[in-house]
Amino acid sequence: MGRVFVAGSINMDVVATAERHPRVGETVAGSAVLYFPGGKGANQAVAAAKLGAPTTLIGRLGKDAFGEQLRTFLAAQGVDLSFVKDTPEAHTGTAIITVADADNTIVVVPGANALVDADDVAMPVLAKGDIAVSQFEIPQAAITAFFRSARAAGATTVLNPAPARKFDGELLDLVDILVLNETELGLLTGRELRDSDDYTRFIDAAHSLAGSDRIICVTLGKRGVLALVKDEPLIVAGREVKAIDTTGAGDCFVGALASQLAGGNNSRDALGYANAVASICVQRMGAAPSMPTAAEVANILNT
């Protein structure tokens, strides 16, 4: 079995729940303040580890109370933290999140995540069959260095370009699997896309990023997933569930996909499995704590 290496962000999510989101300039009364481990990198690593893949996280924490709590939580989920550095010169990454009506708004203050560099990602030694995963809450130079050494080792690279940001062709050339939502796809391809659009619009946009062998995987919330695998469109229908908090659902999908690929499953089966895993995540509050175990996934797949 291959291993999963995630180079990415680690945040404490400070979550306020409310009946509805405030408009700009408006104050609304909330109902609760909750603290959840999060950060796209950490969420993806927890998802992969809880599904049984040997998983290593590469990143940085501040030397503060949030950093200590996150380290304890992540270790308890089975994530290898040998390459997570304590960084005295910056605070632990923090996300301020409002959850209302199952939807969220997020402001991320990167802190220590912004200091992840090429030396950090050079330390773990990857091998053929491993899966290297990253997203856009750490500097792009570090991601490029990480994917370059992963490729050289024969590992498969998975990029989740979130939060949405344009990136250069050098990085795209190093990506084997691109996982993104309709907003990110729209930004990268210069189109206005909505999750309700006709599939042909997504297929058309995805084609422009596909390259020769690259898999493009567009997550469409409750509609499921549309992927281009060897240039052939593949649609995995969403599962009907009652979502209460979608924070971290995309990360859950990415971590689950990586765990399945590390286990030797083909991309089509891995996509179907990851779609089911994410449907469990949205039924729970919080990001990293809402990632399900392999037994929970087996349970819904058998019913």
Residue placing its CB nearer to ligand RIB in the complex, 38 or 67: 38
**Single residue of 171, 261, 276, 287 touching ligand RIB by CB under 6 A:** 287
Number of alpha helices (DSSP H) and beta strands (DSSP E) in the chain: 10, 13
Q: Return d(Cα 193, Cα 80) in angstroms, integer.
A: 38
Q: Return d(Cα 120, Cα 146) in angstroms, integer.
A: 9
246 near ligand RIB, rule: CB under 6 A: no
64 has catalytic annotation: no
Please give the DSSP secondary-structure letter assigned to residue 114: G
What would the x/- binding string for ligand RIB be over residues 22 to 61, using CB under 6 A? ----------------xxx--x------------------
What would the x/- binding string for ligand RIB be over residues 137 to 166, using CB under 6 A? x-----------------------------
Q: Return d(Cα 2, Cα 126) in angstroms, integer.
A: 9
Smallest distance, ligand RIB to C-beta of residue 204, A: 27
Residue placing its CB nearer to ligand RIB in the complex, 14 or 172: 14
State the number of binding residues for ligand RIB (CB under 6 A): 16
- With CB atoms as reference, the residue minimizing the distance to ligand RIB is 38
Question: Strand order of the sheet with strand 80-87?
Answer: 80-87, 55-62, 4-7, 131-135, 156-160, 177-181, 215-219, 224-229, 232-237
**Single residue of 3, 4, 7, 9 touching ligand RIB by CB under 6 A:** 9
62 near ligand RIB, rule: CB under 6 A: no
Q: Phi first, then psi: what are they for 79, rounded to 5°?
A: -85, 130
Smallest distance, ligand RIB to C-beta of residue 135, A: 8
What interhelical angle do 182-189 and 199-210 show, nearest 10? 60
Q: Return d(Cα 134, Cα 45) in angstroms, integer.
A: 10
The contact set with ligand RIB (CB under 6 A) reads 9, 11, 13, 38-40, 43, 95, 106, 108, 137, 247-248, 250-251, 287
| Residues belonging to the active site | 251
